[in-house]
Amino acid sequence: MNRRLGILLSGRGSNFQAIADSIDAGRLNAAIGCVISNRPEAPGLAIAQQRKLHAVSIPSRGLDRESYDRLLLEELRKHDIGLVCLAGYMRLLSSAFIRAYPLRILNIHPSLLPAFPGLDAQHQALVHGVKFTGCTVHFVDEDLDSGPIIQQAVVPVEDDDTVETLSARVLKEEHRIYSEAIGTVLEGRYRIEGRRVLNNRARMTKI
Ligand code: GRF
């Protein structure tokens, strides 16, 4: 599979940096083909520029979803992107975009999906009172935070946690599992049965 990643982000960009670090350290065999932000002021975009990656801002203000996503697709195709990685990208994607990259768009979410989809997942976890939360890397489908789950990590919730302390503990795991999940997909080490993303090795040991 084409190992050129297209990163879409809207903010801080720490997950993008963790992916770039994994590539630089040789833990992930991939290349970042482009980094696109819908917000020109996103710190992640400046970091991508500092790292001498191809980084562009495509402002979304005033454009409807379909028109905006056509611009995104154009940019991704220009850079021959094989896998799209959402890394704190704060916009919903159109159906046309999702169909253009079937099983080739990943997202990371800071909860154990299907618990706490949407915004402020760590806050939702604290308010609900769960004892464990975590993070999820999943394929993107047409619904919010709902596609097949590739990898998750569990994080305990401590009695004295605030949104900040809990988010920091979850983020550390996000940085680890996103690169691992990208590797799984790029290497084709999975198969899908219904909603389940299974390790391909399991099939081999059953035979
Ligand atoms: C992360 O918590 C990620 O799970 C969520 O948005 C946040 C982005 O953080 N989708 P960063 O921009 O990668 O630092």
Annotate 41-77 with DSSP letters as a single string. T-HHHHHHHHTT--EEE---TT--HHHHHHHHHHHHH
Three-state secondary-structure class, residue 83: strand
Residue 32's closest CA among 45, 16, 46? 16
Tell me, yes or no, if 138 is annotated catalytic: no
Report residue 161 as tokens. 């946690």
For the chain, the straight-line distance linking the first and the last C-alpha, in angstroms and rounded, comes to 26
Q: Which atom of ligand 1 is nearest to the CA of 171?
A: 2
Strands 190-193 and 149-156, sheet pairing: unpaired
How far apart are the CA of 168 and the centre of ligand 1, in A?
11
Which pLDDT value is given to residue 205? 46
**Amino acid occupying residue 58:** I
Element (H, E) at 126: helix 121-128
DSSP, res 94:
P
Which pLDDT value is given to residue 1? 84
CA-to-CA separations, 118 to 4, 20, 115, 124, 125, in angstroms, rounded:
28, 26, 10, 10, 12
How far apart are the CA of 173 and the centre of ligand 1, in A?
11
In sequence order, the β-bridge partners of residue 82 are none
Q: What are phi and psi of 9, to 5 degrees?
A: -140, 165
Which pLDDT value is given to residue 143? 93
**Nearest residue (CA) to ligand 1, atom 14:** 14
Q: What does pTM read for this prediction?
A: 0.96
Residue 13's closest CA among 58, 36, 51, 45? 45
Which pLDDT value is given to residue 104? 98
Q: How many CA atoms lie within 13 A of 76 on its CB side?
A: 26
Q: How far is CA 84 from the centre of its chain?
A: 8
Residue 14 Cβ contacting ligand 1 at under 6 Å:
yes
**Amino acid occupying residue 9:** L
E-only strand ranges, 92-189? 105-109, 132-139, 149-156
Length of the chain: 207
Report residue 116 as tokens. 């706490």
How far apart are the CA of 204 and the centre of ligand 1, in A?
35
> Which residue of the set 79, 109, 123, 138 is catalytic?
109
Which pLDDT value is given to residue 28? 98
Which pLDDT value is given to residue 33? 98
Which pLDDT value is given to residue 207? 43
Q: What are phi and psi of 178, to 5 degrees?
A: -65, -45
| Spans of the chain below 50 pLDDT | 204-207
The full set of domains in the chain, from first to last, is: 1-102 (3.40.50.170), 107-207 (3.40.50.170)
Residue 172 Cβ contacting ligand 1 at under 6 Å:
no
